[in-house]
Amino acid sequence: MSLPQVIVLNGTSSSGKSALAHALQERLSEQYLNFSIDSILYALPPSDLLKMQRGEIITRNGYDWAALVRAYHYALPSLLQAGLKLIIDNAWCDKEEKRELLTELAGYSQALVAVHCGLDTLQTRERQRGDRAQGSAQWEYHRVHEHMIYDFEISTDSVAPDAAAAAVHQWLEGQPQLHGALATLEAFNIG
């Protein structure tokens, strides 16, 4: 089985992307590094991370959300060039961020996976987590999947992470044609 170099999990905050990524890592026959946007965010000074989690603006000079996302995108090709395979996840809501991500990943085989979850479930998970700004999931809900053409879609409302990972794994074992990234980039260039 030939697996893609990158598995992109896109969904709202609290949709279960990270849990899915970890369960998928354990199932796949090849080793994948889970390199989430959280890998960058958790490198922030703890006080700044706490501000971001509460939805506050970081007041220190030198970085903002756009710079952090850009750094995340720019790091991806370096990891891939080093021969690593990646499962990446974020809630990509901005059209230009989506374009930048897919441009940075151009030339690498990639599976675009939509992670869906109902708004009620998202809001409940967000409250239970306590490490995300309240209202993030609702704000992202109608934006995260705009302008995206996916290779595979899964709902995590009532599916445990291991079962979701099993579904993604089974789909990958079928050696699907992966056209989501190219189709999305073409749509960006047309629209």
For residue range 44-68, list pLDDT tens digits in order.
Answer: 888 887 777 776 777 666 677 788 8
Q: What does R_g of the chain's alpha carbons equal in angstroms? A: 16
Q: What is the mean pLDDT of residues 31-47?
A: 89
Quote the pLDDT of residue 180: 86
Quote the pLDDT of residue 133: 66
Residues in the chain: 191
Quote the pLDDT of residue 132: 66
Domain 6-190 adopts which CATH fold?
Rossmann fold (3.40.50)
Angstrom distance (rounded) from CA 122 to CA 91: 13
pTM of the model: 0.90
Angstrom distance (rounded) from CA 187 to CA 181: 10
3-state secondary structure of 74: helix
Residue 191 has pLDDT above 60, yes or no: no
Q: What is the mean pLDDT of residues 87-107?
A: 94
Question: Residue 110 in contact with residue 178, Cβ under 8 Å?
Answer: yes
Quote the pLDDT of residue 54: 72
Nearest Cα to 150, choosing from 101, 113, 115? 113
Quote the pLDDT of residue 61: 64
Residues 6+ apart with CB under 8 A from 50: none
For residue range 110-169, list pLDDT tens digits in order.
Answer: 999 999 999 999 888 888 876 666 777 888 899 999 999 999 999 999 899 999 999 999
Residue 40 has pLDDT above 70, yes or no: yes
